[in-house]
Structure 1
Amino acid sequence: MMVLQVAFWFLIFLIVYIYFGYPVLLKIISSFKKVPSNEGQTFKPKVTFFIAAYNEEKVIGEKLQNAVGLNYPRELLEIIVVSDDSSDRTNEIVEEYSTKYPFITLNVVKGRKGKTEALNKSVPLAKGDVLVFSDANSMYEKDALLYLVKHFSEPSIGGVCGELKLLNSTNSSIGESEGAYWKYEKLLKTLETQTGTSIVANGSIYAIRRELFKEMNPNVGDDMQNPLIIISQGKRFVYEPNAITKEETSTKEKEEFGRKVRIVTRSFTGIMAYKKVLNPFKNFDFFYKYMSHKFLRWLVPYYMIAVFIMNLFLLEHELYKWVFAAQLLFYGLAVLGIWVKHKITYIPYYFCLVNYAALLGTMRAMTGKRQATWKPTSR
């Protein structure tokens, strides 16, 4: 019984550490660890700006108009739209823009390879020293590129991630929860950067040195792989909060859930493919950050299930009756959140939804299921 109690409280401690203890630990470390800063830098390298697209006829024109309007010298900017064999008017619209703007080119990757493989086949076309990656539905603020690329004046930095701001114009509950999630992610990336290196990117806005690019696994997201590739070469990957892009949040819960399952499936597949970088003796800073920020968090649904089951065998003790009651209340509120859209119910609902997606995603990855291609969503 003692072993069961120790395992029970250890798993609870792990859940609390992942969501609360980890940022506190980073905050403590950041108070005495100093890293190079690039404030005020005006470094302007040659940039190749990749826009990944598959059947994006509804937004590709707006995206290109946004790209050409960025505050960056045109003679230093090259825009390549990577079309994953789009079957709608996406290619036609891009060609119209390339006629007007010679620095815009279209690269159609035949055979529907998926975003990552399409980028693999497109990067060799780049002439820029810095590669910037974006999605078709993501609209950059005018100075976003300037904020991204200034960090490359520091030789130790190999990659930079910008800030995704989600617009919840419909005031949907799923959109509000997504916004809260991204605020939490912003805090983690800020603290990770202050303590050395961040470990994640966002596919809508990040940049890397061209010389550090390596061909990626087609079954894994580019924004998951590139930070690992950069860090494995001894460079830092940092977060720049002033390099801002905006997207609309999804209004469809089923669509958002499917997107999360796909992301976890591809990311968990990725870390299994890049497990060599998780060597604590080579890079402990990266090891504890990746384990805390990503890997252990993907396993939270397994901890939750184990805690619930173990609690059933400990009900003879008064304390464990209260803990079990708290679990029942939490899950009851989560179920109620399906119909009642209030913070009291929707926060537990969203937490359970995210972890259910992690459960399905990790199970799919461990059973060998792959998902290289994607479809545009309302986000």
Structure 2
Amino acid sequence: MANFLLYTSLFIIWMMLFYHAFLMIGGYLHSLKYREYEKKLATPVEDFPKVSILIPAHNEEVVIEDTIQSMIQLNYPKDKLEVIIINDNSSDNTGSIIDRFAQKYAFIRAVHTKPPHTGKGKSAALNHGLNYSSGDIIVVYDADNTPEPDAIHYLALGLKHDSKAGAIVGKFRVVNANKNILTRFINIETLTFQWLAQAGRWFWFKMSTIPGTNFAIRRSILEQLGGWDEKALSEDTELSIRVYNAGYYIRFFPAAITWEQEPENLKVWLRQRTRWARGNLYVIFKYLFRMHKLKNKKVLVDIYYFLFTYVLFFGGILLSHSIFAVNLVRDLELSIGVVSYVLLVVGFLLFVTEVCLALSMENDQLTFRNFLSVLFMYFTYSQMWLFLVMYSSFLEGKRMLFRQEAKWYKTQRFKQPTKENHSA
């Protein structure tokens, strides 16, 4: 029995490793080609679409001023741009900071939520802000984001020139990557995710996932879909499924770049990532038993990917770890022997190769220091995800069983130096 379980777990793990290697090849090829699309975006200024930027903000006084300053510096005609900042039940100075800028700049608008629309989470704040917007294209940024000046230009014109795209997503970078070992791990993780899962899926399948920030979506689609799902903790993933089911695709266009802050300690990281994992589990079970009702069967690629990642892949790793641990204290008479250790070593080398390839696609990221971080990351940060997914599965299972209301957790922000090194 132990041999059968071990073979099964190794088969699942290697199936996902090969799939990730396949995606990374696509990501690398996309990194060589996406600039060709950039050349197609030449548009007279008078034909630029009207853009509404929505920024939900709850107790964001530490970061919101830098975010607003980055909006002011955007290279986009201000008469075709409106920035709507939703002050969602803040108890700090967020509201007064937003009001100060709104009084000074005509294209910035402060929206303060009022009961019964307060404190219900990001989706509710976005739906509330959408009611005050007028743009044909809706762009979303988190309150800790500082997009580069051309980001909106790429997002808005990217949609204008691609009628089949319901949404277009850019790339995000970690502004505090050099803060400590945790932020360095997160920086490596985010770059790998974007060039593997986002760019790779776009290259092979014309699919990517809407992130929580730095994306543009057509207003008509949001209205057709009824806005954001206010029960979803990962509102971005859930919205992606509905966009695909409506007959559109989501383009990944890494020319549009924003810089965002990541958790600087394990407590904040755990709470944020737990929300993400629970949100993705919510999406899996929301659509798992409705797959036969989905109009666009292509979306099954994403649903199965999340299912395999959160259920089978993490389950396979946990199972193999458990068998090896038990075998240390009790002989399970495993027949696979040396082969299993060879597979583990080769799997580790494949992990390192994929991550280093992702780092090589960014300037100054494939450094010796980052290479050492990748080696250490496999045995520490990557293993932490096992326990996080187990914990998230328990919480989400309990919520579903007892019909509990999902509670939104806002990620804690940290004050950054005035000028962080963006090449980190």
What's the TM-score once normalised by structure 1's chain length?
0.85
Cα deviation, residue 225, structure 1: 2.2
Cα deviation, residue 67, structure 1: 0.3
Q: Distance in 2 between matches of 1:167 and 1:224?
A: 23
Cα deviation, residue 322, structure 1: 6.8
Distance 1:173 1:65, change over 3 A: same
2:394 matched to which residue of 1? 363
Cα deviation, residue 284, structure 1: 4.4
2:124 matched to which residue of 1? 117
Q: SS of the counterpart of 2:280?
A: helix
Is 1:201 the counterpart of 2:210 in the alignment?
A: yes
Query: 2:268–2:412: 8 Å Cα contact kept in structure 1?
Result: no
Query: 2:166–2:250: 8 Å Cα contact kept in structure 1?
Result: yes
Q: Distance in 1 between matches of 2:60 and 2:27?
A: 43
Cα deviation, residue 109, structure 1: 1.8
Is 1:53 the counterpart of 2:57 in the alignment?
A: yes
Q: Distance in 1 between matches of 2:276 and 2:245?
A: 22
Is 1:65 the counterpart of 2:69 in the alignment?
A: yes
Distance 1:143 1:206, change over 3 A: same
Q: Distance in 1 between matches of 2:317 and 2:395?
A: 19
Q: Distance in 2 between matches of 1:226 and 1:81?
A: 21
Cα deviation, residue 47, structure 1: 0.4
Aligned match for 2:231, one of 216, 219, 224? 219
Q: Distance in 2 between matches of 1:184 and 1:290?
A: 20
Is 1:191 the counterpart of 2:200 in the alignment?
A: yes
Distance 1:131 1:302, change over 3 A: same
Aligned match for 2:336, one of 305, 319, 334? 319
Is 1:256 the counterpart of 2:272 in the alignment?
A: no
Query: 1:224–1:270: 8 Å Cα contact kept in structure 2?
Result: yes
Q: SS of the counterpart of 1:246?
A: strand
Aligned match for 1:266, one of 269, 279, 282? 279
Greater shift in the superposed pair: 85-94 or 317-326: 317-326
Aligned match for 2:141, one of 123, 126, 134? 134
> Pairwise mapping of residues 169-188 of structure 1 onto structure 2 (< 5 A)?
170-187=178-195, 188=197
What's the TM-score once normalised by structure 2's chain length?
0.77
Cα deviation, residue 291, structure 1: 2.1
Cα deviation, residue 171, structure 1: 4.3
Cα deviation, residue 276, structure 1: 6.2
Query: 1:140–1:246: 8 Å Cα contact kept in structure 2?
Result: yes
Q: How many residues align structurally?
A: 364
2:40 matched to which residue of 1? 40
Aligned partner letter, 1:63: T
Distance 1:26 1:233, change over 3 A: farther
Greater shift in the superposed pair: 355-364 or 236-245: 355-364
Cα deviation, residue 364, structure 1: 1.4
> Pairwise mapping of residues 69-80 of structure 1 onto structure 2 (< 5 A)?
69-80=73-84
Greater shift in the superposed pair: 63-72 or 211-220: 211-220
1:298 matched to which residue of 2? 310
Query: 1:216–1:222: 8 Å Cα contact kept in structure 2?
Result: yes
Query: 2:245–2:295: 8 Å Cα contact kept in structure 1?
Result: no
Task: Spell out, residue by residue over 1:214-244, the C-alpha distance to the aligned partner (whole angstroms, 9 max, x if none).
Answer: 2332231332222122111000011110100
Query: 1:164–1:202: 8 Å Cα contact kept in structure 2?
Result: no
Distance 1:373 1:256, change over 3 A: closer
Query: 1:197–1:286: 8 Å Cα contact kept in structure 2?
Result: no
Structure 1: which 5+ residue stretches go unaligned? Answer: 331-340
Q: Distance in 2 between matches of 1:361 and 1:374?
A: 17
Is 1:377 the counterpart of 2:384 in the alignment?
A: no
Distance 1:39 1:157, change over 3 A: farther
**What is the root-mean-square deviation in Å for CA atoms of aligned residues?**
3.2
Task: Spell out, residue by residue over 1:90-145, the C-alpha distance to the aligned partner (whole angstroms, 9 max, x if none).
Answer: 11111111111112111122331111111122212210001000011110000001
Distance 1:5 1:284, change over 3 A: farther
Q: SS of the counterpart of 2:380?
A: helix
Greater shift in the superposed pair: 314-323 or 10-19: 314-323
Greater shift in the superposed pair: 16-25 or 144-153: 16-25
Distance 1:167 1:98, change over 3 A: closer
Task: Spell out, residue by residue over 1:141-189, the C-alpha distance to the aligned partner (whole angstroms, 9 max, x if none).
Answer: 0000111122212111000111011134544111121111112112221
Aligned match for 1:286, one of 293, 299, 307? 299
Q: Distance in 2 between matches of 1:342 and 1:185?
A: 16
Aligned partner letter, 1:190: A
Q: SS of the counterpart of 1:87?
A: coil
Cα deviation, residue 38, structure 1: 6.2
Stretches of 4+ aligned residues off by more than 6 angstroms:
28-31, 324-327
Q: Distance in 2 between matches of 1:361 and 1:376?
A: 19
Structure 2: which 5+ residue stretches go unaligned? Answer: 348-371, 416-424
Q: Distance in 1 between matches of 2:198 and 2:177?
A: 26
Q: SS of the counterpart of 1:45?
A: coil
**What is the percent sequence identity of the aligned residues?**
21
